[in-house]
Structure 1
Amino acid sequence: MCVKKSRLNKIISRHQQEADVLKKLIFIRFLYNGKTVDEAVELMEISLSTGHRWLDEWNEGGYENLYPKYKNGGRKAKLTEEEFKKLDEIMINESFLSTRKI
């Protein structure tokens, strides 16, 4: 199956939120299995403050509270969907591009 790089990036970003929640759930499972917060953050390779934040989110609202609080965050794109497609084609077909040329 052949998928354009831009389409693949959209698919990946759509699933990124799920991956982030899964990481938090794995952290919580370590705690359920008897690990301390210090041990769990070391296993997850995250900071202690992040581990405590995830634990607080879990304690305050359970599974649903582990999802990010933002929806469609960020600044609205200045390019239309058609302009993005055109830019994507240019980037695929050109070997050397500068930001000025783009």
Structure 2
Amino acid sequence: MNLIELAEDIRGLPLVRVQFAKAQTHAVLYLSDYERVLTAIGNASWFLNSSGNGHHYVRAKDPATNLNVMIARVVLGIESGAVRYQDGDSLNLRRENLIRPTRPHRSRP
């Protein structure tokens, strides 16, 4: 289980900071979205997962399926597909920072 800290954004909306056990950093999301994640996967341990190309994503192991899930997808209510981060920060899981691309992202050769 991860340590959490309650805070507020500049508009006074409640935030949750989720501390990672093996990293000296944390993810940030709105309290309502954190509650949605808890409903979906319970108190699963959150961790940073590397994509292998320098990008890190916040994941947790879903105890029901024993599969790693992307927390950003849980926040958006989707099971698969790409998620982009408006500010480029994959630790910023606030809903307005999460973007569903309208078409698939293609890497250049």
TM-score where L is the length of structure 1: 0.27
- In our comparison, the structure showing a higher alpha carbon Rg is 1
More helix by share: 1
More strand by share: 2
Higher relative contact order (CA 8 A, sep 6+): 1
